[in-house]
Amino acid sequence: MNWKVLACLPILIATAVPAYSLTNNKSHNPTTAAHVAQNTQQANTMKKANTVQKLHAKHKSNNMANHSTVLRVGSRGEAVKKAQNVLKQQGFYTASVNGVFDKNTRSAAIKFQKSKGLRADGIIGPRTMAAMK
C-alpha cells in the first residue's frame, strides 16, 4: 500500500465512525442532540397535557350539575345571594346580602350546617342546598 493512504487511514476512520461522548449521547452533533431532547420533552409534555385534559373533560361532564351548585369562598352571583338571603332569614348571616361568598358567608354556612347535623365545612354543596330549601 501507498504510504499516503496509510497516513490518511486514521482520518478516514475517525470521520466514518462517530465517536461516543462522555455523556453517552450517540449523536455527534451537540445541537442536534439538544433539539431532539427538547422535541422529545415537548412531545411528552403534550401527551401528559392531553391526558390531563381528557381526565378533566370526563370529570366535568359527569359532575357538571353538581359543580354548578357548589358555592365556596370566592363564588359570586345570584346563587350566592339566594344562599345569603336564606341564611339571613334563619338568623345565621348578619352582613349585607351582596352576592359575594366571603368569610362572613362561610361562617354563616358553618353555623347552619352544624345546626342541621351536616358536615360543617363552610361549602354550600347539594346537601346544604337541600337543607336550605
Residue-wise pLDDT tens digits, 17-64? 565 545 555 555 555 555 555 555 555 555 555 554 554 444 443 433
Query: Cα(91)–Cα(94) distance, rounded to whole angstroms?
Result: 7
Residue with the larger pLDDT of the pair 33 and 4: 4
Q: 0.85 cut: is pTM over it?
A: no
Per-residue exposure over 31-50, b if at least 16 CB sit within 10 Å of its own CB, e if not: eeeeeeeeeeeeeeeeeeee
Contact 87/68 with Cβ under 8 angstroms?
Answer: no
Q: Across the chain, what does the average pLDDT equal? A: 74
